[in-house]
Chain A
Amino acid sequence: MLTVNGLSYRHAGALRPSLLDVDLVLGDGEVLGVIGANDSGKTTLCLVLAGLAPRIVGGTLSGRLSIDGVDAGSLRMHDLPALVGIGFDDPATQLSGVAATVFEEVAFGPANLGVPRDELIDRTANALEALAISHLAERDPARLSGGQQQLVAIASILALRPRHVVLDEPTAQLDPSGTALVGDALERLAGQGVSILVVEHKTDLLARIASRVVALDGGRVVLEGPAKEVLADPALVDLGVAPPSDVRLRRALVTALLDPTQLEGARA
């Protein structure tokens, strides 16, 4: 479980804080979606939860972050990756740049944690399989398409087998099927008790996998609740968040004075 109390954070040199008085609980086995316009604090929240801010990127933090009941400040930096896995929106930031093949890239993280050879091979193969990229195992990561690199980056987080996963727009560059694969993988992980926080502009994906959704605006939590309710909240548009296709379509019908229930029969 990740718990955040009264958390505020200001980036080094920034005039305003990026997060203001945030309270958040991320339970084991839960998928929590985070939405909000750009510059609303979503990426900063990921950096704080993964322990990278302020330790690595500087800035000032107040409030408290605890990981499985332990104050994050008392944990050693090199213990964090096995506890909280973080995935960035740009796979170029994520890939090590030192691996010659996708297999080596995905094995790189757990190898650094000292995972024994047999288990290392096992974990790597499983992570590749979970994202349906086993066929890319021998390819050079630098020569993959942007979307394929994103799947490799996510596989490398899965291979670390962290108890908590924080993902910043994990499907930004993925085709619809890649997006669905990531969704499946996250649901499976959550089923194993891993807690997952995922920042997404793709509200369709959140509607499918998230149990709860939090909306940020100017660094504050402004909406929080069951995914279904938050994603259908009319305030979403004012927050600069595009509602799921389903909600949009329903509204288009209502605006045209049509009965939205006539679509029900056509849903799968």
Chain B
Amino acid sequence: MTDIRVEGLVHVYEGGVRALDGVDLAIGAGERVALIGQNGSGKTTLVRHFDGLLRPTSGRVLVGGVDAAERTVAQLAREVGLVFQDPDRQIFASTVRGEVEFGPRNLGLRGAALRSAVGEALAATGLEKAADLNPYDLGTSRRKLLALASVLAMGTAVVVLDEPTTGQDMRGMAIVEEIVGTVQAAGRTVIAISHDMRFVAERFERIVVMRQGRVVLDGSPSEVFAADHWETLRSTFVEPPLPAILGARLKLGATPTDRALVSALKSRG
């Protein structure tokens, strides 16, 4: 099992932009955590430290109890699979299947084990029928699902999704939502960056809110979207989901999802 600990993490980009300004965060193995906050608040910078693509300016990141600084990107990639925001940064094979095979093959999978890892990932993302196509014959939204499939196939203990629902239609959304559930059900950790408040409120048990390189809120959807935090949320350009706003105005308590609002209304009678 792989947990992630971030201690006093600071990252200053070349040119002086201080993207992370002292982040402390512990994510337990098997947790389902959403990272939210305004554009440029440091969300992507933070997760890129998890698989060593970025290294701390100061502070440290422990992956499975081991300091990430002592391990190469290739070693970390066996534990942490990162799906980029822009799929074209990670797609390079000439077929969809070849793309999905690349990761697990590099991890040493062969034969039936490789076929089943690839088959499962293609099925989960609804890309089975597209397996022999060139990735660039898929639209952007399906290329995003392909990037997701290629990380899923690696079977890493931690899966990090950077804005997985961007550009997805309802079917794509449903695929992403189901994957978040099945990956966690398999005991793997899911960390997702998102601006879609409905998605994070309905699918994640913990929400971490970032502002200007720091963590400003951390809790369950009911806690984070509670009325006394709206000011903090708005200071990092996050608007609470509609049912949370209406529920608070109707004095129903914390109702971050449609379902929660409906059941609060029902129990009020």
A residues 150-184 near B (Cβ < 8 Å) are 151, 169, 172-180
Query: Are A240 and B44 in touch, CB under 8 angstroms?
Result: no
Taking Cβ atoms with an 8 Å cutoff, the residues of B that contact A are: 13, 15, 17, 37-40, 44, 85-86, 88, 139-142, 163, 166-173, 195, 197-198, 234, 237-239, 241-243, 245-246, 249-250, 258-259, 261-262, 265-266
Query: Are B173 and A252 in touch, CB under 8 angstroms?
Result: no
Tell me whether A253 and B262 are in contact in the complex, defined as CB-CB below 8 angstroms, given that A177-B237, A246-B242 are known contacts.
Answer: yes
Interface size, A (range)? 35 or more
**Bound Cα distance from A121 to B32, whole angstroms:** 47
Apart from A37-B170, A146-B85: 4 A-B pairs, beta carbons within 8 A = A174-B39, A177-B234, A240-B170, A267-B246
Tell me whether A38 and B198 are in contact in the complex, defined as CB-CB below 8 angstroms, given that A240-B171, A263-B246 are known contacts.
Answer: no
A residues 124-170 near B (Cβ < 8 Å) are 139-140, 143-148, 151, 169
**Bound Cα distance from A145 to B48, whole angstroms:** 13
Query: Are A256 and B238 in touch, CB under 8 angstroms?
Result: no
The interface residues of chain A lying within 8 Å CB-to-CB of B242 are 245-246, 249
Q: Which of A180, A246, A258 contacts B266 (CB 8 A)?
A: A258
The interface residues of chain A lying within 8 Å CB-to-CB of B15 are 140, 143
The interface residues of chain A lying within 8 Å CB-to-CB of B173 are 242
Q: Interface 1/0s, chain A 82-117, versus B by CB < 8 A? A: 000000011010000000000000000000000000
Q: Which residue of A lies closest to B238 (CB)?
A: A176
**A248 adjacent to chain B (CB < 8 Å):** yes
The interface residues of chain B lying within 8 Å CB-to-CB of A90 are 86, 88, 140
The interface residues of chain A lying within 8 Å CB-to-CB of B246 are 249, 263, 266-267
A residues 59-99 near B (Cβ < 8 Å) are 89-90, 92
Query: Are A174 and B250 in touch, CB under 8 angstroms?
Result: no
Q: Which residue of A lies closest to B43 (CB)?
A: A145
The interface residues of chain B lying within 8 Å CB-to-CB of A123 are none
Taking Cβ atoms with an 8 Å cutoff, the residues of A that contact B are: 36-39, 43, 89-90, 92, 139-140, 143-148, 151, 169, 172-180, 201, 237, 240-242, 245-246, 248-249, 252-253, 256, 258, 262-263, 265-267
**Bound Cα distance from A191 to B265, whole angstroms:** 40
Tell me whether A169 and B167 are in contact in the complex, defined as CB-CB below 8 angstroms, given that A143-B15, A253-B262 are known contacts.
Answer: yes
Q: Which of B86, B170, B258 contacts A252 (CB 8 A)?
A: B258
Q: Which of A147, A201, A246, A256 contacts B168 (CB 8 A)?
A: A201
Task: Give B52 Cβ to nearest chain A Cβ, in Å.
Answer: 20
Query: Are B258 and A248 in touch, CB under 8 angstroms?
Result: yes
**Bound Cα distance from A253 to B263, whole angstroms:** 9
Task: Give A103 Cβ to nearest chain B Cβ, in Å.
Answer: 16
Most buried by B among A143, A180, A246: A143
